[in-house]
Amino acid sequence: MPITDLKVERRAGALGAILTGVDLAAPVDDDTYAAIKRAFLDHMVICVRDQAAMTPEDQLAFAAQWGEISIHPYVPSIDGYPGIMRIYDPNPVTVTWHADTTHSPRPPALTLLLARVLPPVGGDTMFANTALAYEGLSPGLRATVDSLKAVHQGTELASSAGLDRAAVTSVHPVVRTHPETGRRGLFVNGNYTSHFEGWTPEESRPLLEYLYGQIARPEYTYRHHWEVGDLIIWDNRCTQHAVVGDTNGAERTLHRVTIAGDLPY
């Protein structure tokens, strides 16, 4: 479709937009990709509607325009499509606020998640703007967290895959700078962050819990109600996400592709 058909509708004050008028099952020209990328950087989370016709090949081809496709260190891809992970919920990891695989030395830059099967009700995804969370701290606390690094460790799935703790442990700054926008945001999360470097877990816990609470403040969030064919793209460098676990066991299947990132700084 011509780029003039692309429409961007902002959905919340903090982040999030819906894009319509583009068919990602067809090749995406440079101008259309550039417009989508601008919306992504402006809104941090974008949903490209009506993409049910996308095949796994289409999703991988579009994802490759964003950068190098990342292979998860211990969760397998779906058969025949390296880089596409099948997400099936309910999953206890996804109902807490987190960014994806921050235990990696170079955590993913962004994630593309395509809704294939959805429950009759429930299963919304919440997104949070970690830059607003950082900017909302007092000057004194910002100065404190600016000076800290945190240890990130893989989940128990890493052990079941035969990886030792060192293989899925990284140290990152507590506040990272976005490499494209220059904006700074909190980069700690309850799924992967163990403790501050040089602190014990017990000493770290009160401040970490306070920071997690700031990230989850309602005014910093956007709640997305899924439709089949939604392709959501979120910026893993400046957002966190959590699933609302209210599906009552109904099937919720999505296909996820992540794009390799850089060293947080």
Among candidate residues 43, 241, 252, 255, the one labeled active-site is: 241
In the set 50, 58, 89, 100, the catalytic residue is 100
Is position 256 annotated as part of the catalytic site?
yes
Bridge-based pairing state of the strands 231-235 and 45-48: antiparallel
Query: Strands, E, within 143-228: which ranges?
Result: 149-153, 169-173, 175-177, 184-186, 193-196, 221-224
Of the residues 43, 98, 176, 252, only one is catalytic, namely: 98
Task: Judge whether 241 counts as a catalytic residue.
Answer: yes
Task: Note whether 176 and 133 are within 8 A (CB).
Answer: no
Report CA-CA distances (Å) from 156 to 4, 88, 91, 101, 170: 47, 18, 13, 13, 16
100 is catalytic: yes
| Alpha-carbon separation of residue 148 from 137, 196, 210 (angstroms) | 15, 7, 15
Just list the catalytic residues.
98, 100, 241, 256
